[in-house]
């Protein structure tokens, strides 16, 4: 079913299925050809749950040192060997639950989730359009930018958790909203998004960029319209990606 929706909806797979009083959230990790599923309450944003699910799978891969080359040897149908990561997942869930109970922290978690989804879309654009010299150039640009910002944020440990893997992926979900200044976080996320979007624009040009954003960003804005309005982020996102 997920493969069918990816084909019919231009690369967008299943977002969520409501069943048994829960919503079941799907995300795909292409390098390992894994479809990851989580169950969550129906009143929580699917995008937020998906961003957390993305972080969990990244933590899973790092924890067990999995690569596309060794995955077939690591996975042979016996899942009990992966139970060792359960305490880490429990800790993450506890942290997220705690943050949701604190006024302001829940909002920051929503913001982190939305920016994570945006960056996942930007990396999709990079993977489709950047090869050889262009890919080498944008990776160097992002690495230089991330190094400079990490130095700038040395006095704020949480902001230094904005991670760039040296390839094309960025990760914001390690940040704890309970321990970060909200204004500094929003500023850092917007600055990072604006800068990386600029690198992408330099590499592929405005027309291709707008075409890519129409496939990736517009559906995201529509699906999250109410939440973006509530967080007063809709206008700044529209201006960032389409002005």
Q: What is the pLDDT of residue 7?
A: 46
pTM over 0.75, yes/no: no
CA distance 206 to 170: 23
Taking each helix axis as running N to C, give the angle between helix 105-129 and helix 46-63, from 0 to 180 degrees, rounded to the nearest 10: 70
pLDDT along the chain (243 residues), means of 10: 52 67 82 83 77 84 87 78 88 77 74 90 92 95 95 90 92 86 89 94 90 88 87 86 77
């Amino acid at each position: 079913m997920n493969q069918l929706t990816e084909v019919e909806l231009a690369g967008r797979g299943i977002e969520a299925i409501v069943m048994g009083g829960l919503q079941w959230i799907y995300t795909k990790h292409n390098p390992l050809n894994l479809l990851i599923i989580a169950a969550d309450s129906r009143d929580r944003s699917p995008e937020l749950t998906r961003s957390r699910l993305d972080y969990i799978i990244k933590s899973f891969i790092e924890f067990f040192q999995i690569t596309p080359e060794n995955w077939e040897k690591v996975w042979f149908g016996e899942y009990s060997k992966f139970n060792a990561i359960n305490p880490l997942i429990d800790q993450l869930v506890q942290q997220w639950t705690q943050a949701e109970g604190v006024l302001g922290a829940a909002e920051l978690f929503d913001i982190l989730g939305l920016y994570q989804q945006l960056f996942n879309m930007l990396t999709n654009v990079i993977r489709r359009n950047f090869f050889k010299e262009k890919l080498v150039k944008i990776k160097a640009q992002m690495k230089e930018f991330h190094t400079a910002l990490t130095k700038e944020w040395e006095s704020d440990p949480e902001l230094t958790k904005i991670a760039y893997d040296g390839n094309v992926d960025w990760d914001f979900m390690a940040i704890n909203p309970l321990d970060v200044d909200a204004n500094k976080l929003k500023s850092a996320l917007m600055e990072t998004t604006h800068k990386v979007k600029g690198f992408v624009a330099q590499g592929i040009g405005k027309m291709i960029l707008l075409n890519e954003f129409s496939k990736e960003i517009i559906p995201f804005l529509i699906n999250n319209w109410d939440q973006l309005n509530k967080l007063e982020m809709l206008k700044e996102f529209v201006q960032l990606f389409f002005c």
